[in-house]
Amino acid sequence: MSMTKVNKHIEIVRSTGYGLSSMSQASCDAIFDVLCKHYTSVGITIVNDLSDFKAVINRRPDLVFLGMKFVPVDHALGLADPAKAWIADYLDKRGIAYTGSDRMAHEFGVNKPLSKQRVLDAGLNTSKFYVARQNHPQVRDDMPLAFPLFIKPTSRGGGAGIDDNSVANNFVEMESKILSIATRLKSDSLVEEYLPGREFSVGVLKDEYSGEFSVMPIELIAQPNKQGIRLLSAQIKSSNTERALEVTDEIIKTKVTALAINAFHALGARDYGRIDIRMDSAGTPHFLEANLMPNLFSGYGSFPKACVLNMGLDYESMVLRIAGLGLARSTDMIDEEFERNRLIVPALEPAFETVGLTAS
């Protein structure tokens, strides 16, 4: 029996530009296949500059399924461009609905020190930290934190820049790692107190109908490196070799989920996202970072794994829920536009009702 498709146009956007896409080609194809089964019109647009994105706007889709956050205005600066064009901002100004969080939340998400400060200001736990700027020499006597320290780029995802040298036990090791990040990734470094405890990834997903959030923790366990340290490095993440386990200890689960949802709200996130957490030596959970556009590839990313382990939510249902949340905002936008027109030009109200703009 054939399934009746919903008459909506959804456009998936991703990029092939370096560091711009949060969605791989394989993930994009999988999402496309799911949406094509349920909606009448689904497209994929590669957005590497503003002209590419303007083409999406001109098509006026009912929903943009976001696989990227911004494009640089100055391609010579790339990811470091301070005048980057935020996709969510463009869509909001043009009344086009999209999946996930808005610009403000994404700005927190891509800036790890900023998100840590935001969480800290909300009274939540995160390890002490500071930012080591590129091309600024480190001064041993000015060190504000004690070793061991954990060092990673301030604004990269997917474990980029995290390897066996990310835990520094002395000044020379710290200096070397900061230089490596500046040289290879052209990034400042986030230097924070090293947390030696267990690591968790917490998926957060809103229910389209009740408005309640499902908070779905999993424990991630990587193989120990030569120093006996378990790190979710770039190599571990890309090879998908970490173990993902359901959190069965109710006390730990309560602590981790409480921190995750509070951090999610503190960052102004909406609909869905992932909060990463690690415990200190006393077993107290601390916020690590947020990914508000997590990998959605089945069996690979932590977010899909969290959905399966906590809710038994399969891949297709997960994608459809994310799309549905965005489309619900599309309906709200239509209702708001109608109300504005009704109030501004009341004489036109019967004409609007005749053509059915008030129909659900």
Q: For residues 309 and 266, state if they share a domain.
A: yes
What are phi and psi for residue 268, nearest 5 degrees?
75, 25
Burial of residue 248 (number of CB atoms within 10 Å: 0-12, 13-18, 19+): exposed
Q: Are residues 144 and 118 in the same domain?
A: no
Q: Is residue 329 part of a domain?
A: no
By the 8 A CB rule, do 45 and 68 touch?
no
> Do 200 and 306 fall within a single domain?
yes
Of the residues 178, 193, 208, which one is the last residue of a structural domain? 193
Q: Does one domain contain both 76 and 118?
A: no
Q: What is the pLDDT along the chain (360 residues), one digit of tens a residue?
A: 457 999 999 999 999 988 889 999 999 999 999 999 999 999 999 999 888 988 999 999 999 999 999 988 877 667 777 778 899 999 999 999 999 999 999 999 999 999 999 999 999 999 999 999 998 888 988 889 999 999 999 988 777 889 999 999 999 999 999 999 999 998 999 999 999 999 999 999 999 999 999 999 999 998 888 888 888 877 888 788 899 999 999 999 999 999 999 999 999 999 999 999 999 999 999 999 999 999 998 888 899 999 999 999 999 999 999 999 999 987 655 444 434 333 333 332 322 222 222 222
CA distances from 46 to 49, 52, 53, 86, 89 (A): 9, 7, 8, 15, 18
27 and 172 share one domain: no
Residue partners of 31: CB distance under 8 A and separation at least 6: 12, 23, 65, 296, 319
Domain hosting residue 93, numbered range: 6-98
Are 178 and 238 members of one domain? no
- Phi and psi at 41, nearest 5°, equal -140, 120
Q: What is the CATH number of the domain that holds 213?
A: 3.30.470.20
- Tell me if 334 is assigned to some domain: no
Give Rg (Cα) of the chain: 22
Number of H helices, E strands in the chain: 11, 14
Cα(69)–Cα(101) distance, rounded to whole angstroms?
10
Measured distance CA(315)–CA(280) in Å, rounded: 33
Q: pTM of the entire structure?
A: 0.89
Alpha carbon 67 to its chain's center: 10
pLDDT given for residue 3 in this prediction: 75
Q: What is the pLDDT of residue 239?
A: 82
Asked if residue 328 belongs to a domain, the reply is no
229 shares its domain with 117: yes
CATH of the domain at 41: 3.40.50
Residue 138's domain is classified under what CATH number? Answer: 3.30.1490
Number of domains in the chain: 3
